[in-house]
Structure 1
Amino acid sequence: MTLKSKEMLIISNLLTIFLISTTIKLISSLAISNLTSINQFKRDYYNYACELSTIYDSSEFIYDIERSNIVDGQEGLPLHLIIRLINSNTCSPLQGVYVHVWHANAFGQFSTGRTINSMKLNEYELFLRGHQITDPQGDVSFKTIIPGWISKRTNHIYVRVTLDSTSESAIYNGQLFFEEKFLELVKVSFPYSLHLKKINFITNQDDLVYNTNHQGAETTLSLAELGSGYQTIITLGVDPSKVIK
């Protein structure tokens, strides 16, 4: 092989190495850019709901069961409640966690979770209480009613997210509220209107929890009419790596 041929071979090899190195850098750059774009897309798609949602102190959690329909014969305006959980760290749907909900009935009463028949110890008073496990989209769905107000508290729904069926592994405690204009309609509707004779109606502005750092608006439900009742969906950002005591 002549000297010129050797020089040409060296140049060719160097050019090949340069092209391979450039290609690797380009692929890496595109991968990082694509990952950034995906995360940005997720944040845009979920309207930044992957940010950690407001955490509230919860009322004492008691026993419940896995079910979607939690009405148990309670009278009130029907509500189809959909809760969507998003991992606040990754903006991805949070699948396989337990979402517990409970709230008062139209008269401001909570179920006790205790046995209702001393002869049947497996029967418990559990109206308007239950839990569901999030699906691949991070969703759970409950058939319930619009809650009534209670002493010193506006109408609200408790939400507790746990890693398993117990209450010891909570990763989120929250409360869901309703728009003030809607509550004005609720209080004069049957059977809620009967409750006015016993306990004064409490507005959002008079509710200390709702007004804590003005955060109640962050978990206020937006309702749409559905037949004789209403439907709503709310997205909550939850950090599954932090257990709340």
Structure 2
Amino acid sequence: MVHLSAVVAIGLTALAGIVSAHPGHDVKAEAAERAAFLKNAPVHSRSLAQCASRLQRRGQQSRNVARRHMAVKNIRRRLGLQPTNHLLKARSDSALDTSHHSNLTGVDSSTDPDVLFGTDATCILGPEVTQGPYYVTGELVRENIAESQEGIPLYMDIQLINTNTCEPIPEIYMDLWHCNSTGVYSGVVASGNGNSDDETNLNTTFNRGVQKSNKEGVIQFQSNFPGHYTGRATHIHVLTHPANETKVLANGTISGLYTSHSSHVGQIFFDQDLISAVDEVAPYSTNTQELTANADDSILAEELDTIDPFMEYVYLGDDISDGIFAWITVGMDPTQDTTVTPAAYYTEEGGVENENSGAPGGGGSPPGGVPSGAAPTASAAPP
């Protein structure tokens, strides 16, 4: 187990031919595939350890600290928050321990930002072979994906680092999606995903969006903290698109509605104590789906032999309901290029199920006989 003190790095190396949406996939098989990759992959493709000193010399760490510190200050100012404590940072020696709460004392607005937002370690990377569940193409390029969903505000800072060059990766587009506070994904109608009789959910877009990394390889999203659903620990999905195959269309989406490619597919997790604190707050407390703890998630447990995919975070106020700021560094090989199969497409006519997705919730082919590679003419998703 690799111990991290602040920034976590997680590799998102997609394996061609074994990407699938879930539920409906073999979790044990996925865990075995991931273990095999970690055992056999060359070090440069699964580790940021060789990048630590180089990033430090180039001032990347200090810029990360300054960026995160300023982001938190600006969010707190905008929300009118004046926190006095509850700033969480320290990590447990075991990522599956229930408590990762900070052991720092006397933390206030004058605490050195390096203590809260700095890092002196990286971690081993691992593959992510689960595409879903419920990846939907055609989502808008936007930072705020919360829409009108109720829940605890979550502000995310995600940095992409090239494992081959140890450089930040600019101009990479990242899809990010997760379920809402009661464990329901937008854009998909399927058994086990909320009310499977509610066909209108196919046309919803909450908690989904796309962003492009800046010159520092940084992507920022605003959403709500995800809820949980039966069978998996609380998590967020991310998927990056090859820069040379991606362009923004006039309708505010990216190209590849029916021919989506990915450099990497991955999942990001949270500390169990943070999840437990969130679940005490409405509407999370009304979620009737069975909670799977981090320690009981077989895919996560397999990863933790080599990586630590948990976001670092601070409370924005003195109460968790005020919001959370979380960050993670993602190591990836941008030369990877894998075709992905969405559960649905979001078009100008609304959502269309993909019957070839190979998972519950799939169904439907590109509407109107649109040929492969064609772009939608407009998106009905809200801004």
TM-score range, shorter chain: 0.7 to 0.9
2:207 corresponds to which residue? 128
Corresponding position of 2:281: 189
- Report sequence identity in percent: 28
Pair 88,217 (structure 1): closer, same or farther in 2 beyond 3 Å: closer
Matched residue, 2:261: 169
TM-score w.r.t. the length of structure 2 is 0.48
Which moves more between the two structures, 215-224 or 157-166? 215-224
Give the direction of change, closer, same or farther, for the CA distance of 1:160–1:226 in structure 2 (3 Å limit).
Answer: same
Pair 1:90-2:165 in alignment: yes
Q: Whole-Å Cα distance in 2 between the matches of residues 205 and 162 of structure 1?
A: 31
Greater mean deviation of Cα atoms: 220-229 or 164-173? 164-173
The count of aligned residue pairs is: 201
Give 1:70's aligned amino acid.
I
Counterparts of 2:52 and 2:293 in 1: how far apart (Å)?
39
Task: State the TM-score, normalizing by the size of structure 1.
Answer: 0.73
Structure 2 distance, partners of 1:187, 1:126, is 23
2:311 pairs with 1:233:
no
Q: Does structure 1 residue 112 correspond to structure 2 residue 204?
A: no
AA in 2 matched with 1:140: I
Q: Deviations over 1:116-162 (max 9, x none)?
A: 87xxxxx9411000010110000111100110001111110000011
Cα separation, 2, equivalents of 1:86 and 1:129 = 23
Give the letter aligned to residue 240 of structure 1.
Answer: P
What are the Cα deviations for residues 82-126 of structure 1, in whole angstroms up to 9, with x where unaligned? 110011111111011101100000000000169x87xxxxx9411
Aligned equivalents of 1:51, 1:212: Cα separation in 2: 13
CA distance in 2: counterparts of 1:51 and 1:206, whole angstroms: 22
Corresponding position: 1:206 with 2:296: yes
Q: Which runs of 4+ in 1 moved over 3 A?
A: 43-54
Note the C-alpha offset of 1:191.
1.0
Distance 1:48 1:242, change over 3 A: farther
Segments of 5+ residues of structure 1 without an aligned counterpart are: 1-37, 118-122
Q: 1:220 aligns with which of 310, 315, 318?
A: 310
| Structure of larger gyration radius | 1
Could you tell me which runs of 5 or more consecutive residues in structure 2 were left unpaired when the two chains were aligned. 1-50, 62-119, 190-198, 247-253, 340-383
Structure 1 residue aligned with 2:344: none
CA-based RMSD: 2.7
Which amino acid in structure 1 is aligned with residue 156 of structure 2? L
> Hey, what's the Cα distance between the residues in 1 that align with 2:225 and 2:208?
13
Partner of 2:130: 57
Highest relative contact order (Cα 8 Å, sep 6+), 1 or 2? 2
Letter in 2 for 1:55: E
CA contact (8 A) 1:81 1:143 kept: yes
Residues 1:211 and 1:84: Cα distance change in structure 2 (over 3 Å): same
